[in-house]
Each structure stands twice: as structure tokens, then as C-alpha cells.
Structure 1
Amino acid sequence: MKGQTGYIMKPMMLIAVIILLIFLLQTLYSGVAKERLAQKNLDIVSTGTNVLLILANSEDCLAYESSVTQKAQGIILDIQKLDEFDVYNDNMEPECARNYEFGWRVDVEQIGQGGAIENNWDFGAKEFSDGVALNNEIRLWIPVAIKYPEGHHNCPEGCTELGKMSIKLVNGELENLAGFFDWGCRMGQLGRMSSFSTELKISQPVKYKPTQNELCIGRSCRSLICHLLYFDEGLTSEGTYELTVNYQGPNKLLVGK
């Protein structure tokens, strides 16, 4: 009888051990997945915050430079620089705060009495990855001041107004692929690197519009810095691609697949 009980208990114990191992593995994988998601969210928040701070504090971007100290005044935006960014960076992020893994668009609002918006400026990319091509996105904002110099038509005596600077930051296949091409172009223009390679996973076909010099995935398109050679057909199907670019100045990239 004891022998029969042993024959019954051993398989049951084995099944219990297997179930316990499966549970432990699922818990472990779930914990790892949550940790990766948390890190992913932390990365995009950190990137968005950095872009906003660079825009607001760098004299190469929007920071107002004091005529007395000859230094940038943090979080105080120069109205003349804002006007220039609004005109000249209407469909691409300004180079002073460019991130080649993320795309972004910034909106600056001047806030008057009672919270009314008295003026606004926007600049950066206009279209972003969506659907299956989208990895992550976030919206952030920081308070800023907007400096008007003496003689400005909106404030002849000179003034400093309250403002709000908001960012939409996106990471996806369109941003990664366009960022790769723009990075290769910029490195070539600076003479730092003539050839550059990467491996990218694409979930849907990629189109290139040579006339507009735009890269498109789905319904979204991005302007590029350099024109692409031998890429008129784009990427016709989903998959993982190993791409190589060679800078063929001025402002041309030879693309190899």
C-alpha cells in the first residue's frame, strides 16, 4: 500500500514543482517587463525635460542674453529668437536641441491677465509615428518668461511676460529611421564620419519622396536634412533592415541595404 502511495505522490510532487517553477518564471518575467517599461518611461521623461531645459537655457537656442553680463539668463526666452524659430523651424527641430532618436514639437504661449493666451509660437516636427510604428510619446511643460527689448512693437518700453513652454516628444519607427539619416548627414557635413550603419526594425513599408525630400511611414512624413540616393523605392515590406549610409556631399547620402 505504501509503495502504491509513493507511486501516486511522486508524480503529484513533480507536477507541483513544475507549476511552482512556471509561476516563479512568470513572476520573474513580469517583473523584468515592468522594470523595462518603467525605464522606458523614465528615459522619455528625462529626454523631454532635457530638451525643454536646453531650449530655455542655451543662448544657441532661445535663452535671452543679458547686455550687461553677456550671459544667458536661464528660463527667460528672447522674443526675437522665438520669432525666428517660429519661421525657420516650422517642420523640423532646431539643431541646437535636436535628438536623433526622438521627434518633438514645442509650443510657447504668452499668458496674460486672467490666464488668457496673448501670443504663441510653435516649432519642430509636424508629424510623428502612429499606430504600430509608435513606441512611446509624452507631453511636458515648464514655466518660462518672455523678454521683449525696448522698442519692440508689442512692448515699446521693454518688458518681461509670463509664459508656458510645452513639448510633445515621440519615439517611433519614423523618428528612428529619419534620425539615422539625419545623424549620418550631420556627421558627414561636420567631417566627423563619412560612413554609418545601423539595424532597424520596420513594421510597415517606408516611402521616400525625393521631390519633397520626405520620409514617410503610414500617414506620417518627416523632412530630412540630406537628399537620399538609391532609396527612391524606400523599404517595401516590414522586417529588420541593416542600413548603411555614405555621405556624398553636398547634402547627399548614398543608402545601402
Structure 2
Amino acid sequence: MSLRIVTWNINSVRLRIDQVARFVAEHAPDVLCLQEIKCTADQFPRQAFIDMGLPYLRIGGQKGWHGVAIASRLPIVDSPKLDVCREGHARCVSAVVEGVEVQNFYIPAGGDLPDRALNPKFDHKMDFYERLTAEMKTRDRQRPLVLAGDFNIAPGENDVWNHRFMSKVVSHTPGEVETLYRLQDAGGFADVVRDQIPDPTKLASWWSYRAKDFRKSNRGLRLDHLWTSPGLTPAVVKGSARILDAVREWERPSDHAPVVMDLDV
């Protein structure tokens, strides 16, 4: 069967529930991973997701900040939550759907200063990655696993609008990029979107709200990712991975666009 998995930093699920409904109607995800839901579990609009045909839910909520959720068309089996956030934020939620483990993350942005000693937010970001990397080293690479979410790092030169400028800005500094690649190497993960849309094609999934016309300013970053373990990568449907940047054009959009891939499981 085909399994369509989408990751989307929604930037408030209650504020944009109509957009989520429109997206689900137009793109028919089987598993929708959301970040920055910005509500507690009891505030989450469950009935709206039931009405959309995504009744199976796993929610990691937090009042006013962060928060992650997985909504599925198909039944969910519980998967152990990863304890990788030292601050106890709601930044990770997991589920198993059709035998595929999905780990959905909202990794810390890291503040403005790329210095662990001077910036606790940046240190938290690096610590989150280090804990997650250590966890992935223990995993069976043949187990079907997806890492999804807003990783808050754009790794490649063509994942940012200007490599030289962004190399000094948190999200694309050399230390962050190396940290992301260490995580990728720890589990042998495939970066599905970049593998299917190779360099030198420019890709982005986030654009600042500061620009009235995000396409005209064209200062995007590829912060949102779908990764597959070696045991799952052969199941990725060729040509299915893409960034749905047209969603960023909708009225009052999230600053992130959804990212999608299909699996043949």
C-alpha cells in the first residue's frame, strides 16, 4: 500500500485549522506530522481532525509554545517517546503506522548567537542533537523509521538563499551543519527530498514573514526534513518527495511549507 507522510510546521494549529483541512482535502496525507501546534493536548482541535479523516492522534502539547502532533488516517501503535529535550519541552512525539515508526521533532531554533558558552538556547539546540544522535546509534538500521519535522538547520549550500551570508547565521553555521550530518550518519538516514531533487536546485521550506512577497524576496531556508532509515529508504516512491511551497501563498499562512513523500509499504 502507499503511505503518504507529510511534515508541516503549522505555527498554531488552532489558528490555521481551516488551512489544515484544506490541505488534507487537496493532498490526502495518511500521516500528518505537525510542529509548533502551540496548545496543550486538551486544547487540540481533535474533532476537526476526525472530520478530516485523520482520527488517530498522538499529541505532545505545551501551553502557548512548541508542541508537536501526529494525525493519521490509519490506526496508530504506540512507540516509545525519545527523551532528548533536556528542558522538558513538547518537542517530540512518535507513532507506528503500518509498521513504520515515525518520530516527529520540533528541534530548538537556537537563538541568535552561535556560541554554546554565551547562548543557552544554542547550547540546548546542540545538546538536543547530541542526545538524538546517541539514540540513533543504538537503532537497528533495518527497522523502518522516519525522522520528520522542523530540524531548524538548512544543511547544504543550495538549502539557503545565500551560503556565504547564512554561514554566519544560526541555522546554517558550519558547526550546526556538521552536527546535522553526524545525526544523519549515525542512522544512515536518507535525506529524501534532497536525494530526489539533487543539487544544484535551490530548495526552501521556510520564508520570513517580514517579506510581503516571499517569492520576490526569495530568502528561504530548507529547515523541514523527511529522513528514512536504510531499511525504509527503498520503499520511498520515486519522484514523490517535494516541498509544497504553494501552500505558503495561502492567506495568513504558516511561515513554513509542508514537505511530503510517499512510501510503498
TM-score over 0.5 (shorter chain): no
Radius of gyration: which is bigger?
1
Alignment TM class, shorter chain as reference = under 0.3
The TM-score with structure 1 as length reference comes to: 0.26
**Higher RCO (C-alpha 8 Å, min separation 6):** 2
The TM-score with structure 2 as length reference comes to: 0.25
The structure with the largest strand share of the pair is: 1
